[in-house]
Amino acid sequence: MIIEYVNGPAAVNDTLVFPVVSGGLAAMMDRLPEAFRGVATSATEQARFEAKAGTVFETYVADGASTRRMLLVGAGSGDDMGYERAGAALSVRLIASGVTSAFADLTGASATGAARFALGASLRGWRIDRYRTRLPANQKATLERVAIVGAAAGSEAAWDQLRAVAEGVAFTRELVSEPANIIYPQSFVERCEVLSAAGVHVTSYDEHQMAEFGMGALLGVGQGSARPPRLLTLEYKGEGAPDGAPILLVGKGVTFDTGGISIKPALGMEDMKWDMGGAGAVAGALLALAKRGAPVHVVGVCALAENMPDGNAQRPGDIVTTMSGQTVEVINTDAEGRLVLCDAMTWAQRRYKPEVMVDLATLTGAIIMSLGRDHAGIFSNDDTLTRELVVAGLSVEEKLWRFPLNATYDKLIDSQIADMKNVGPRDGGSITAAQFLQRYVEPGVKWAHLDIAGMVWSDKDLPIAAKGATGYGVRLLDAFVMAHGVKSEATA
């Protein structure tokens, strides 16, 4: 979908779109088509249209000898999120309506509100239909263009920044949506090579190099697959970035998770193609930051493996030596995410010497039992870092809820024959998983772990995402890195 800012009137085939704030219909009456003004108030009252964010009132108005479709889309209180929901509502209603072009009047919206309207339209208009060869004509996407008029000064520049974020979210959604016969460790790396054109330095390491690094845990997860693991690094340093250590983002990239020898039930196993959602979010965030020319220094590290059962697969009871030198008794091969992350975290900390490290992972089903699908969990050794991430998430409606870490939980993963087990008891499963990862945080590093298992995929339509891959984490990381980078530059 193309979104552009224009100065002229609507084209003859454009659907007219007017965002409305709650109680604001009367104030914008002179901008509505003359043929509709006389009945607008009574028509919207009968339809119970109150301009709540994301709601739609649709009608048709006379335009000379023809008839034109018109939408009033609710922007709620008129804040940025309200306009984002209004833009998303436009896409929901028009994406497969037969309409090819829409003309949105953003007069009265703030510069950021109008830009967020464009973002909402772009995010909600994303689809992946490439494998649907028999899609009925009335279900195919038709909306190709949204023209925005009347936006406040600065809106187009704000949209140029948010367009980059939308591209990052779309990239992540594509990676997460693809089946495991298409996206596996090596093909994930190949997809990410497009980031080079945006100024990201892309490097990958194969299983032989990882063996030299001593990554026994990551390699153990992938040893049952015909598709070997990969370690991918994505480094971006924008013009004006502060000197010093980069912000480090680490993503779990299990491209398919059968559970290994501790095999999962067959029902729903197909969903495990999205077990690389953490790595997908890291890649999308790096793309967004690079495309917007952010003045930050960020490194993304993706730990990529496929967890399969075969004659060479890792067994319950095996002991592996991690790159840190610590040993792990593998009690459950389906607790593999922490095994791929721990080696990637060790390698990345030793290579880049970060002050701040954030990892993202679809790590535990227990986090879904705790939080459902409205929040991701956050675990951290630093209160300030936690606050920064929570605030960043709230600003883009990618919410986080903090969980505890302490010695009582930590001792639950002690092993009798190794330094630790890869699982604790059933109770507190998300916490003991985070305690495992904390054992691989180098002294002095401010660290946060985001368990996003309930957030990367949705079985129902969401305000800014159709059911399927959500792209969760890209906007959160983008907002966090931008705020943290600006703060770092100001205090440098």
Q: What residues are annotated to the active site?
A: 264, 338
Q: Of 53, 52, 55, 20, which is closest to residue 36 (Cα–Cα)?
A: 20
Amino acid letter at 199?
G
Q: CB under 8 Å to 141, separation ≥6 — which residues?
A: 95, 96, 125, 127, 129
Q: Of 416, 384, 379, 398, which is closest to residue 455 (Cα–Cα)?
A: 398
d(CA 120, CA 464): 6
Q: Of 345, 255, 340, which is closest to residue 299 (Cα–Cα)?
A: 345
Q: Of 220, 188, 391, which is closest to residue 322 (Cα–Cα)?
A: 220
| Residue 237 backbone zone (phi > 0: left; psi -120 to 50: alpha; other: beta) | beta
d(CA 147, CA 94): 14
Length of the chain: 492
d(CA 74, CA 48): 12
Task: Please calculate the CA angle 252-256-262 and round it to the nearest 5 degrees.
Answer: 95
CA 212 to chain centre: 32
